[in-house]
Amino acid sequence: MEHLLEYTFAELKNILLEKNVAVSRTYPIFGWIYRRSEFSFENMTDLPKTLRPMLADWFSIIDIETVETQTAPSGESVKFLFRTHDGHYIESVLLQGGEIDDETETAGPERLTVCVSSQVGCSLSCNFCATGRMGLTRNLTAGEIISQVLLIDRYAKEKYKKDPASRAITNIVFMGMGEPFLNDENVLKVVNILNFSGGFHIGARHITISTAGIYNKIRELADTGLQVRLAISLNSANQDKRRVLMPITQRQPIEDVLDAVRYYQTRLDRRVTFEYVLIGGINSEENDVLSMKRELAGIKFHLNLIRYNPVEEIPLVPPSDEEYRQFKGFLRKHGIPFVERYGKGREIAAACGQLGLSKLSERLSKVKG
């Protein structure tokens, strides 16, 4: 059985043609799945009755299973635990308000952002990140990534009483488990499928790809011309300090990453986001800000300032209130534009850096319970 979500609109048309099905059927199939969140061919009522069981024999649609949902006390975030067909687990998050995606830097109550995973685990071992402690199991397929988006979109339609005939999700961020640029073929295919006007139809500028800094892939993204937003996990502009926080820096030096960002901006003329996880006693001094000011010269950017979100078994702490206030003062003093990002979902281990299948055995036993 083939996985339908793996195919672009053009690819599905060709497959249907090979099966002697009118290619015009591709439009309603995409509409039912990507706009109406309908995952049963039998319920696609404007398709011929004789065709529906044939489609069900040929194709599966959703490639993962929802195991658990956890809602934060504030109600502003929901964490999803999914199981893949081969028994692995991943987590994704729905955020009300979510990430900014426009020049006004606002995030109103109608903004619904889905934070998706691109890999089962991660190979980069960033020492402040729960996913990095897992190691890498495998890449997710395009269908598995899209399945996260569609299942969460259907959930959001019901939760927020949205129009069932159109998508509820307004933004997608590749900030979940895994390094998107180490699964770039599938990630970029997902972007193109979800951007298609006859389906989910989400604008490229409403999609953010966040990377720890794979500089050759940043250059390749620039060459595609895709208008997605680019975010870089920075955390320190000092090569030695960043190498301690993010071991990938040994193979991807910060100067090469920043050169790739400059190349990206010459091709696309788009401002980038640098994500800065502020860790108590680690990267919160004025010298850290001076390093940023020096190394980021000539780059159009804004800084997402994120207080470190604690992870069990990682011996790091968030900055104190005074340390946090002082660091913001350093940023203002040296003219570095920043936006404060708050740890939505911290109570359910759903905030930045916390996705890592926390207490998985305990959670699974309750579900099976």
287 in the same domain as 201? yes
Sign of CA pseudo-dihedral 126, 128, 134, 137: negative
Catalytic residues: 91, 352
13 in the same domain as 94? no
Q: Max alpha carbon distance in the chain (Å)?
A: 69
**CATH code of the domain covering residue 82:** 3.20.20.70
109 in the same domain as 19? no
Domains in the chain: how many in total?
Answer: 2
86 in the same domain as 42? no
Could you tell me the two tokens for 33?
Answer: 């799945």
104 in the same domain as 202? yes
286 in the same domain as 233? yes
49 in the same domain as 77? no
Domain final position from 45, 60, 75: 60
Instruction: Return d(Cα 52, Cα 62) in angstroms, integer.
Output: 16
DSSP line for 63-94: -EEEEEEEE-TTSSEEEEEEEETTS-EEEEEE
Helix axes 142-159, 184-195, angle to 10 degrees: 40
Tell me the β-bridge partners of 303.
Answer: 274, 338
Could you tell me the two tokens for 5?
Answer: 């979500």
Instruction: Return d(Cα 249, Cα 2) in angstroms, integer.
Output: 39
Do the beta carbons of residue 278 and residue 94 sit within 8 Å?
no
Domain final position from 18, 33, 60: 60
**CATH code of the domain covering residue 33:** 1.10.150.530
128 in the same domain as 248? yes
Which range of residues forms the domain containing residue 11? Answer: 2-60
Domain final position from 16, 31, 60: 60
107 in the same domain as 48? no
Residues 220-258 as b/e (b if ≥16 CB within 10 A, e otherwise) read: ebbeeebebbbbbbbbbbbeebbbebbbbbeebbbebbb
235 in the same domain as 101? yes
- Tens place of pLDDT for every residue, the chain, 369 residues? 899 999 999 999 999 999 999 999 999 999 999 999 999 999 999 999 999 999 999 999 999 999 999 999 988 999 999 999 999 999 999 999 744 444 444 444 589 999 999 999 999 999 999 999 999 999 999 999 999 999 999 999 999 999 999 999 999 999 999 999 999 999 999 999 999 999 999 999 999 999 999 999 999 999 999 999 999 999 999 999 999 999 999 999 999 999 999 999 999 999 999 999 999 999 999 999 999 999 999 999 999 999 999 998 899 999 999 999 999 999 999 999 999 998 888 889 999 999 999 889 888 988 876
340 in the same domain as 265? yes
Instruction: Return d(Cα 233, Cα 263) in angstroms, integer.
Output: 18
76 in the same domain as 53? no
Instruction: Return d(Cα 199, Cα 178) in angstroms, integer.
Output: 26
* Predicted model pTM: 0.95
Q: Where in 5-143 does DSSP place strands (E)?
A: 59-60, 64-71, 77-84, 89-96, 112-115, 119-122, 135-139
Q: Which residues lie below 8 Å from residue 45, measured CB to CB, with a gap of 6+?
A: none
